[in-house]
Amino acid sequence: MAVAPLRILVILPMYGGSLPIGRYCAAALRELGHTAHVFESPLMYPAFTGLQGLALTPNRAAQLEHSFLQVLSQAIWAQVESVEPHLVLALAQAPVSRSLLQRLQRSGVRTAMWFVEDYRLFTYWRAYAPLYDVFAVIQKEPFLSELAALGVRSLYLPLAALPDFHKPLALSPVEQREYGADIGFLGAGYPNRRLAFRRLAGRDFKIWGSDWEGESLLAGHVQRQGARIGEEESVKIYNATRVNLNLHSSLQTNDLVSHGDFVNPRTFELAAMRAFQLVDERTLLPELFAPDELATFASLEEFYAKIDYFLARPEERAAYAARGQARVVREHTYARRMAALLEYCEQSLGPWQESGPEKAPLPELPAEVQAELAQLARKLGLGPHASFEDVLARLRQQSGALSDLETSLLFLDEWRRQYLQR
């Protein structure tokens, strides 16, 4: 069941792995025909980290960080007042305070979080999940039962890919030399990965990403001295690599293949790019992919053996990659995930209501005025079906001189607000 066009405010975290996921969600919502506004928390990250350079006592630093997050919450509330969203969607680690969630509840603004983290490691969900109207998660039992015991409406929502972004690329010879390798890995240097990858030292193996310091055996394989790799460049790396390693992170060193449950975003992104990957078996993976769509391993012995096996068989790599891509494009896109989330919200919370003042319909307008409005909507970064309220909300965020049309629209809206208050 399709949901009518909505206004949705996506709250990004200031940094971290869920930051790009938030951007993919906003892109997918627009693809579905909704108006997606984004609260750009990363703009505040330099100021937040700057607090750490003030040489304050831990107590005082914690107080300032708390105050800073309260200011961020106030900024989010200001954007809520401007946008008047039907839904506020927060990604894991977004700077949304408990007091802001309670304020949104009192104001009747629906809220959802996509908790794209391991609930066993990141336990802050216990304090925040009951304050959201809907809490989407990437794990099933016993997490769903624990949320139900707290009275939380929860939804299993696995990760996905954005096919317009995560796609096959034709790389230049220069790019192929820079990014290409027999074996490649992009991600953080978790303990299990450090130990598992040591046997690959000396081979045509490139490691991209951060947190590999102190790993002397692999130092020669770490690219750019462990600098962070942006999303655009990651697509080139995955496309250029013959065998992409996808070993899920773990802090454990006794069993380097963790056999966990959730499936990381890399799995879907690599598949969407038609890039070959070797991924460790996960308990939820069979629900998402068929055995012939992803090459998997259950032990380190199988891991090393399959690297050599698939390096020698490019046709099999291509066949796996093609089948995996077809599955992702068909079933595992962010557009499908966002559609599922919105449908669940409507089913569990009831029909969507206007969150701001009652919206009065516009009278029939002359063709030339309609053309001017359409041109203004494009200028403001809105879609062709943007509502009058969406145009006004974006106008209020602009700076600089106003055109005659913009001035007239703001005047009209102010008159309407005064009229509705009588």
| Total Cβ atoms within 10 A of residue 42 | 16
Quick one: pLDDT at residue 356? 45
Please indicate whether residue 385 or residue 250 has the higher confidence score (pLDDT).
250
The pLDDT score that the predictor gives to residue 370 is 73
- Report which DSSP code applies to 114: E
Cα separation of the two ends of the chain = 38
Residue with tokens 């350079």: 53
pLDDT at 377: 74
Instruction: Report which residue type is found at 363.
Output: P
pLDDT in tens, 75-109: 999 999 888 899 999 999 999 999 999 999 999 99
What's domain 7-160+334-349's architecture? Answer: 3-Layer(aba) Sandwich (3.40)
pLDDT 10s digits, 115-140: 999 999 999 999 999 999 999 999 99
Give pLDDT, residue 357.
Answer: 36
**What's the angle, vertex CA 377, arms to CA 371 and CA 383, rounded to 5?**
110
Q: Which CATH class is domain 173-331?
A: alpha beta
Instruction: Please give the single-letter amino acid code of residue 247.
Output: L
How many helices (H) and strands (E) the chain has is answered by 16, 11
**pLDDT for residue 361:** 45
Q: pLDDT-based confidence at 392, cuts 50/70/90?
A: confident
Mean pLDDT of the chain: 90
For the chain, give the percent of residues with pLDDT over 70.
93
Return the closest-CA partner of residue 154 out of 165, 144, 168, 141.
Answer: 144
Q: Report yes or no: 181 and 206 within 8 Å, Cβ to Cβ.
A: yes
| C-alpha pair distances (Å), 62 with each of 59, 122, 150, 260, 381 | 5, 19, 29, 34, 38
Calculate the CA 41 to chain-centre distance.
13
Sequence-separated contacts (24+) of 200-209 with Cβ below 8 Å: 200/307, 205/181, 206/179, 206/181, 206/237, 206/241, 208/184, 208/234, 208/237, 209/185
The DSSP annotation for 49-80 comes to HHGGGG---HHHHHHHHHHHHHHHHHHHHHHH
Strands (E), 28-153: 35-39, 87-91, 110-115, 134-137
Asked if the model's pLDDT at residue 362 lies above 60, the reply is: no
What's the token pair of residue 24?
A: 């993919």
Q: Specify the pTM.
A: 0.83
Q: Is residue 4 left, alpha or beta, with left meaning phi > 0 and alpha meaning psi from -120 to 50?
A: beta
Comparison of pLDDT for 298 and 56, the residue scoring more:
298
Strand partners, 207: 185, 222
Q: Are strands 154-156 and 295-297 parallel, antiparallel or unpaired?
A: unpaired
Q: Write the DSSP assignment of 345-363 as a string of letters.
A: HHHHH-S---SSS--PPPP
Pairing outcome for strands 181-186 and 154-156 = unpaired
CA distance to 195, 305, 307, per residue, from 199 (Å): 8, 12, 12
143 token code pair: 């997490």
Structure tokens at 13: 């975290």
Looking at residue 358, its pLDDT comes to 38
Res 415: pLDDT: 74
Which pLDDT value is given to residue 275?
A: 98
Fold match, 7-160+334-349 / 173-331: yes
On whether the CB atoms of residues 294 and 282 are closer than 8 A, the answer is no
Name the token pair of 257: 């293949």
Q: What's the token pair of residue 60?
A: 């005082």
* Phi, psi dihedrals of residue 254, rounded to the nearest 5°: -80, -30
Please report, for residues 109, 136, 181, 347, the alpha-carbon distance to residue 350 in angstroms, rounded to integers and kept in the order given. Answer: 13, 17, 52, 6
pLDDT tens-place string over residues 60-76: 888 888 888 889 999 99
Mind listing the pLDDT tens digit for each residue in 146-166? 999 999 999 999 999 999 999
Segments making up each domain of the chain, as ranges: 7-160+334-349, 173-331, 367-420
pLDDT score recorded for residue 93: 92
Average pLDDT over residues 185-201: 96
